[in-house]
Amino acid sequence: MDIPAKGVQIFHDADQRTAVVIQLFETADDMAAAEAALDAMDPSDTPGSRASIDRCEIKAELNPS
């Protein structure tokens, strides 16, 4: 499976048994290609289920040194 993400962040809350996955892409085409690959995944390959999908554009980023 080819997912052309330039970065991935996974936030996990063990107490609630939930996770949020953030994937970063260079282009809208890369994001669409990843969506097709993720939709094609067998649900038994990963735990849990997808509750929602949101698509956004980063407008600001702070990287303190």
33 sits in which H/E element = helix 28-39
Q: Is residue 46 part of a domain?
A: no
Q: Is residue 57 part of a domain?
A: no
- d(C-alpha 13, C-alpha 11), whole Å: 7
pLDDT of residue 30: 93
Q: Is residue 32 part of a domain?
A: yes
Q: What is the pLDDT of residues 19-44, one digit of tens each?
A: 999 999 999 999 998 988 888 887 77
List the domain range (segments joined by +) for residue 29.
1-37
The count of structural domains within the chain is 1
- d(C-alpha 54, C-alpha 61), whole Å: 18
Look at the pTM and tell me if it is higher than 0.85: no
Q: Is residue 58 part of a domain?
A: no
pLDDT of residue 15: 96
Q: Is residue 20 part of a domain?
A: yes
Q: Is residue 26 part of a domain?
A: yes
